[in-house]
Amino acid sequence: MWKSIIYKEWLKIRWTAIFSIVVVLLVCGFVFLKVSHDIRTTDANNFWYSILFMKYNFFTLLKFIPIIIGIALALSQYFPETVDKRMKLTFHLPVEENKILLQMHLFGTAVLVAVYLLLFLLFFAGCRYYFPIEMTVAAVLTVLPWIISGLVGYFMVSTIILEPIWKFRIFYALVAFGFITLFYIRAEQAAYAHAMLPLFISAMMASISILFSGYRFRKGEM
C-alpha cells in the first residue's frame, strides 16, 4: 500500500518537485556566479570586507525560495484532493484515515526535505569554495531559518487547503502568517543561531496540524 500511496503523491507533485530542483540549481548557480564575478571585479578584500563589516548579504536571492517551494508543494499535493472533495476517495481507501494522511504528509515532507537538502548542500559547497569555515557557518545559519520556514509553509498551507471550515481556514492562515513572519524578522547573518532548535521543534509540531483538518473533513463539518 505504501508503494501505491507514494505513486499517487508523486504523480501530483512530480512537476513541482522537478521545477523546484531546477529553481534551486539556477538560483544557487546565479548566487555563486555573482560571488565569483564580484570577487573578480571588486577585489576579494573589498568583497570580504563588505560581507564581514558592512553586513552585505550575497545570498538574499535565496531568502524566499524555500517558502515558495514549500507552499507550491502543498498546493500541488493537496489542492487536487479537495477538488470535487476527492479526499473522500482517499479516506475510503482501506487504510486508517489518520494513517493515510500522515503517510501522504510524510512523503511530501520527504520530497521537500530532499529539495532543501540539495539547496543546503549546494549553498554549503559554494560557500566553502569561496569563504573560510567561519563565514560559511554564519551564512548557513542564516539560510537555515528560511528553510525551516519553508517546512512551516508546507505544513500550514496543507492544513489550510484541506480544512473544510472557512473560519478555521482564516484562523490557520493568521497563525501561519504570524509563525512564518518569525523567521524573517532579523536580517543579520546568523541572527537565529540560538533560536534554531525551538524554531525547528515548533515547525515539527505544525506538521500534525493537518490531522485536525482531516478530521473535520471526514466528519462532514461545514
Partner 1 sequence: MYAIECKNLTHYYGKKLVYENLSFHVGEGSILGLLGKNGAGKSTTINILNGFLQPHSGNCYIYGEDSQHLTPANKARIGFLIEGHIQYAFMNITQIEKFYSGMYPNWKREPYWELMAKLKVQPLQKISTMSCGQRSQVALGLILAQDPDLLILDDFSMGLDPGYRRLFIDYLREYAKAEKKTIFTTSHIIQDMERLIDDVLIMDYNRILAQQPISEFMKNFKQFRFTLDNPQAVIPKNELIWNVEQIHDKVECYTYASEENLKQYLSGSQINYTGFTEVTMSLEDAFIGLTGKY
The nearer residue to partner 1, 7 or 49, going by C-beta atoms, is 7
> Which of 94, 134, 185, 201 touches partner 1 by CB under 8 A?
94
Q: Assess 7 for contact with partner 1 (CB under 8 A).
A: yes
- Under 8 Å between Cβ of 198 and 150: no
Q: Assess 14 for contact with partner 1 (CB under 8 A).
A: no
Measured CA distances, 123 to 74, 96, 108, 165, 178 (Å): 24, 40, 23, 40, 27
- Under 8 Å between Cβ of 77 and 12: yes
Q: Assess 15 for contact with partner 1 (CB under 8 A).
A: no
Q: Assess 34 for contact with partner 1 (CB under 8 A).
A: no
In whole angstroms, give the CA distance from residue 222 to residue 216.
8
Q: How many residues belong to the site for partner 1 (CB under 8 A)? A: 24
* Smallest separation (angstroms) from partner 1 to the CB of 97: 8
Q: Assess 218 for contact with partner 1 (CB under 8 A).
A: yes
Stretch that binds partner 1, among 21-29, 32-40, 88-96, 147-155 (CB under 8 A): 88-96
Q: Assess 84 for contact with partner 1 (CB under 8 A).
A: yes
Question: Which x/- pattern over 54-83 shows residues binding partner 1 (rule: CB under 8 A)?
Answer: --------------------------x--x
Residues that bind partner 1 (CB under 8 A): 1, 3-4, 7-8, 11-12, 80, 83-86, 88-89, 91-96, 218-220, 222
